[in-house]
A and B are shown apart, each in its own frame.
Chain A
């Protein structure tokens, strides 16, 4: 059986020391080992950004695509080989700005993949511009007077889009983050895990200390029931989205792949490509 060390590779991340993304990398490696995967059974598909580099820092199959498109690539991979565990990962700009259309539709579609967003409320790779997750008043290179656009309430949006697994975590809490990723992988459908992953270089407001002060862990809310969508929504609104833990999970809903008609139960990638003569003749005769 593989251990988390088997998911480490020889590549040294080019992240700044202290970047929140290191914990996400470690959590994915641990979660993969904990759920019993071998490295070759995992495919990590990532977008573009500091965070997007993550697929190159894990010893597994990895695909580092283009900005904002990790999700459609990941869904394509899963459709092609349902035996693979597929994790999509990227930044808040990647998933909630340029890739927002894909995020909402991946949620709706509910293909069985896990999506981890490293949310630092800023564009890291392009050296510090505002993101859809930046708070009002946040000063960046592109908002020198402070951002006037409200931050997207991403968890609420996911719930409204019909998400079947919604969780949020924080880079400092490796244990919880690992656990949530495991749960996300095990969930039969699309799982969204938003991780507050501080950018120590360009975000001097939403720092580790800031999060420690402002985040509420759902385990501290008595009787919180993640199967209740109403309560999930209310709790998010009450705490302005600053909660961590498993926010909502619908275990009843079948995944896209289990719902569509005719779809192969074995990996499509192993299918025979040759049409039989009978099938061919049948198709041809329809045009005669």
Chain B
């Protein structure tokens, strides 16, 4: 019996590889296993190798596994491309239709299963995915009954007969595989899971759901990988709440439309990736100087330009913090798990209104598209705070005066009224302005208003600016990361501790304003600091040096080949520092 294993399905893009992984993982989720799924895909829609690697465990996992136990292959390319990941004793289950072969002399067993033939005999070759699901389940010794509910949900609309056929295909796959296996691979039998109900979702689902829970009722966006799922989810859900999504002509329109809607009082978001964020920069500055709340999601992917559009990277950091010309108050957050992504989105809307400034929620491709098991999200944790939004009646304005929308206050935050309110008339402009919003180039006013705006960031209250796992008062090593690297770092730390090192972990969740006070003591009490990030220039490491100092003991572990860190990579690189 084992407590975790890693399974991968591969084939040609557009051939239903997705559904094989989907059905297999939904069933495992229902049984109470913790899952982590990561898809490898390219910019092509049809054709080209694609695969979905799913880690199954009886405890929480948030990283891709170092190796692979089971590979399900729909073509020879899938075997050739992924074979190196298989561990000693691993198995390949392949469609016998293409006469699969594996390299000689390896300690891997190949099982040729007639996926296509079995499916064709049952009615249609389309069901070959189901046969593969059945065969995989036999290896794990799963009870096939769990699929009944899943298949009904997916195919119920098409009638009972289709449901039955698909179940038959699963059963046939399982039966065939059982006969092949005999008693040979007891080691792949999974320990029973706790059977608890949990959510299984990608980061983008959580971001979109978090936006809904956070009161977003409008979205303006332009499609891009890996952000589009956010908009697609909200298009399905917002109309039932009276809201809407507009697919704009470009990201400049998306961002400015979101600014217009927020100005008029609706919590509105836009979401994009690096190329879109580059286009939004001028608009973000407008939100900054006009003190208009707006929430922008950046799902980072490989840059620059079109870069590696379907691959993992974390290279937008500096551009997001400093990209806008001029100097504005801006809040940048970086959730590191799907769960955090949900709660952070709710908070993003609160902070945007409380501090009346743009809030950028950074994600990365691995977090946005990787699918994680999530403990049920809690309704009671959802809180809506609208800051200094003025409600109720306003006193009459004398002599056509304007409402002091940009009143200089101690905390820098001014009362905010929405257009449509009697006696709240004021001007809003991206030109430097006075307390009523009227353009002003007077030097003293400029300084007062700049200071007022930037002062707002002195008071940013953020629940957990740093996720900390600090077991040691004095550590040999402090590992720092942000966004999706958390899983790989956590596993690496487990191994480093077994190696005898004292390791602390800080995952930065509030990127800007940088939580110097929280991070500084951790850096000071560590002999060495390693910043693990997916970019080539060590952007977070530089940010750390800028804010905390100690450049002489800060090292970088970088990866920018498009693939997410594996735990063993982080482990090995960190260990090397102590040899």
Q: Which residues of B contact A105 (CB under 8 A)?
A: 248-249, 253
Which residues of B, 211-249, contact A by the 8 Å Cβ criterion? Answer: 212-215, 217-218, 220, 237-244, 246, 248-249
Would you call B351 an interface residue if the criterion is a C-beta within 8 Å of the partner chain's C-beta atoms? no
B291 to nearest A CB, angstroms? 12
Q: Using A40-B424, A72-B253 as known contacts, say yes or no to A84 and B242 having CB atoms under 8 A apart.
A: no
Would you call A9 an interface residue if the criterion is a C-beta within 8 Å of the partner chain's C-beta atoms? yes
Closest residue of chain A to B426 (Cβ to Cβ) is A61
Which residues of A, 264-288, contact B by the 8 Å Cβ criterion? Answer: 264, 266-271, 273-275, 277, 279-281, 283-284, 287-288
Give the CA-CA distance A288 to B241 in the complex, in Å. Answer: 22
Give the CA-CA distance A48 to B218 in the complex, in Å. Answer: 26
Q: Using A77-B419, A264-B243, A287-B200 as known contacts, say yes or no to A101 and B253 having CB atoms under 8 A apart.
A: yes
Q: Which residues of B contact A271 (CB under 8 A)?
A: 217, 241-243, 266
Q: Using A56-B438, A261-B239, A268-B218 as known contacts, say yes or no to A76 and B384 having CB atoms under 8 A apart.
A: no
Q: Interface-forming stretch among B77-85, B98-106, B114-122, B255-263?
A: B255-263
Would you call A220 an interface residue if the criterion is a C-beta within 8 Å of the partner chain's C-beta atoms? no
Q: Which residues of B contact A188 (CB under 8 A)?
A: none
A79-B218 in contact (CB<8A): yes
Q: Interface-forming stretch among A63-71, A134-142, A242-250?
A: A63-71
Would you call A158 an interface residue if the criterion is a C-beta within 8 Å of the partner chain's C-beta atoms? no
B199-A284 in contact (CB<8A): yes
B197-A64 in contact (CB<8A): no
Partner of B421, one of A8, A40, A266, A273: A40
5 shortest interchain CB distances as A-B pairs: A262-B239, A76-B260, A273-B215, A264-B242, A269-B265
Would you call B250 an interface residue if the criterion is a C-beta within 8 Å of the partner chain's C-beta atoms? yes
Q: Using A56-B439, A69-B252 as known contacts, say yes or no to A79 and B261 having CB atoms under 8 A apart.
A: yes
B242-A43 in contact (CB<8A): no
Which residues of A, 37-86, contact B by the 8 Å Cβ criterion? Answer: 38-41, 43, 45, 48, 55-56, 59-66, 69, 71-81, 83-84
Closest residue of chain B to A266 (Cβ to Cβ) is B242
Give the CA-CA distance A64 to B428 in the complex, in Å. Answer: 6
Closest residue of chain B to A69 (Cβ to Cβ) is B256
A76-B261 in contact (CB<8A): yes
Give the CA-CA distance A104 to B250 in the complex, in Å. Answer: 12
Would you call B468 an interface residue if the criterion is a C-beta within 8 Å of the partner chain's C-beta atoms? no
Closest residue of chain B to A42 (Cβ to Cβ) is B419
Would you call B418 an interface residue if the criterion is a C-beta within 8 Å of the partner chain's C-beta atoms? yes
B420-A61 in contact (CB<8A): yes
Q: Using A40-B420, A260-B244 as known contacts, say yes or no to A284 and B376 having CB atoms under 8 A apart.
A: yes
A102-B253 in contact (CB<8A): yes
Would you call B423 an interface residue if the criterion is a C-beta within 8 Å of the partner chain's C-beta atoms? yes
Give the CA-CA distance A8 to B400 in the complex, in Å. Answer: 8
A24 to nearest B CB, angstroms? 18
Partner of B419, one of A61, A264, A279: A61
14 chain-A/chain-B pairs, Cβ below 8 angstroms: A48-B430, A65-B259, A66-B282, A66-B430, A69-B256, A69-B283, A72-B254, A76-B220, A77-B419, A105-B249, A261-B239, A263-B239, A271-B243, A287-B200
Q: Which residues of B contact A77 (CB under 8 A)?
A: 260-261, 263-264, 419
B244-A43 in contact (CB<8A): no
Partner of B379, one of A38, A64, A280: A280
Q: Mark B261-289, 1 if CB is under 8 A from A, else 0.
A: 11111111000000000000011001000
A102-B249 in contact (CB<8A): yes
Would you call A126 an interface residue if the criterion is a C-beta within 8 Å of the partner chain's C-beta atoms? no
Which residues of B, 177-218, contact A by the 8 Å Cβ criterion? Answer: 197-201, 205, 209, 212-215, 217-218
Give the CA-CA distance A59 to B266 in the complex, in Å. Answer: 23
Q: Which of A38, A81, A83, A266 has the most CB of B within 10 A?
A: A81
Would you call A10 an interface residue if the criterion is a C-beta within 8 Å of the partner chain's C-beta atoms? yes
Would you call A11 an interface residue if the criterion is a C-beta within 8 Å of the partner chain's C-beta atoms? yes
Closest residue of chain A to B201 (Cβ to Cβ) is A287
B564 to nearest A CB, angstroms? 22
Would you call B308 an interface residue if the criterion is a C-beta within 8 Å of the partner chain's C-beta atoms? no
Q: Which residues of B contact A267 (CB under 8 A)?
A: 265, 420
Closest residue of chain B to A277 (Cβ to Cβ) is B379
Q: Which residues of A contact B419 (CB under 8 A)?
A: 40, 43, 61, 77, 81, 84
Q: How large is the interface on A (under 10, 10 to 19, 20 to 34, 35 or more residues)?
A: 35 or more
A40-B384 in contact (CB<8A): no
Which residues of B, 395-445, contact A by the 8 Å Cβ criterion? Answer: 399-402, 418-431, 438-439
Q: Using A81-B264, A273-B267 as known contacts, say yes or no to A76 and B244 having CB atoms under 8 A apart.
A: no
Give the CA-CA distance A45 to B425 in the complex, in Å. Answer: 14
Q: Which residues of A contact B264 (CB under 8 A)?
A: 43, 76-78, 80-81, 84, 269
Give the CA-CA distance A45 to B374 in the complex, in Å. Answer: 44
Would you call B377 an interface residue if the criterion is a C-beta within 8 Å of the partner chain's C-beta atoms? yes
Would you call B382 an interface residue if the criterion is a C-beta within 8 Å of the partner chain's C-beta atoms? yes
Q: Which of A64, A73, A260, A288 has the most CB of B within 10 A?
A: A73
Q: Using A263-B242, A269-B418 as known contacts, say yes or no to A275 and B212 having CB atoms under 8 A apart.
A: yes
Q: Which residues of A contact B250 (CB under 8 A)?
A: 101
B229 to nearest A CB, angstroms? 13
Q: Which residues of B contact A270 (CB under 8 A)?
A: 265
Give the CA-CA distance A152 to B517 in the complex, in Å. Answer: 57
A72-B257 in contact (CB<8A): yes
Closest residue of chain A to B220 (Cβ to Cβ) is A76
B400-A59 in contact (CB<8A): yes
Q: Which residues of A contact B238 (CB under 8 A)?
A: 262
Give the CA-CA distance A55 to B263 in the complex, in Å. Answer: 15
A247 to nearest B CB, angstroms? 24
Q: Which residues of A contact B259 (CB under 8 A)?
A: 65, 73, 76
B212-A41 in contact (CB<8A): no
A274-B215 in contact (CB<8A): yes
Q: Using A61-B419, A66-B283 as known contacts, say yes or no to A273 and B400 having CB atoms under 8 A apart.
A: no
Q: Which residues of A contact B29 (CB under 8 A)?
A: 288
Q: Which residues of B contact A11 (CB under 8 A)?
A: 438
Q: Which residues of B contact A283 (CB under 8 A)?
A: 209, 212, 237
A269-B266 in contact (CB<8A): yes
Partner of B253, one of A69, A81, A260: A69
- For the A-B complex with A65-B256, A72-B252, A77-B419 known, give 5 more contacts whose Cβ atoms are closer than 8 Å: A48-B430, A61-B424, A76-B260, A80-B260, A269-B418
Give the CA-CA distance A80 to B244 in the complex, in Å. Answer: 10
B266-A268 in contact (CB<8A): yes
A69 to nearest B CB, angstroms? 4
Closest residue of chain A to B290 (Cβ to Cβ) is A63
Closest residue of chain A to B246 (Cβ to Cβ) is A79
Q: Which of B240, B257, B260, B439 has the most CB of A within 10 A?
A: B260
B385 to nearest A CB, angstroms? 10
A72 to nearest B CB, angstroms? 4
A64 to nearest B CB, angstroms? 4
Q: Which residues of B contact A41 (CB under 8 A)?
A: 420
Q: Using A84-B419, A267-B420, A274-B384 as known contacts, say yes or no to A73 and B427 having CB atoms under 8 A apart.
A: no
B429-A56 in contact (CB<8A): yes
Give the CA-CA distance A67 to B194 in the complex, in Å. Answer: 58
Q: Which residues of A contact B425 (CB under 8 A)?
A: 39-40, 59-61
Give the CA-CA distance A64 to B283 in the complex, in Å. Answer: 12
Give the CA-CA distance A152 to B286 in the complex, in Å. Answer: 29
Q: Which residues of B contact A284 (CB under 8 A)?
A: 199, 209, 376-377
B307 to nearest A CB, angstroms? 24
Give the CA-CA distance A77 to B200 in the complex, in Å. Answer: 36
Q: Which residues of B contact A78 (CB under 8 A)?
A: 264
A162 to nearest B CB, angstroms? 14
Give the CA-CA distance A19 to B382 in the complex, in Å. Answer: 54
Partner of B256, one of A39, A66, A279: A66
B420-A269 in contact (CB<8A): yes
Partner of A79, one of B200, B244, B376: B244
Q: Using A43-B419, A284-B377 as known contacts, say yes or no to A76 and B438 having CB atoms under 8 A apart.
A: no
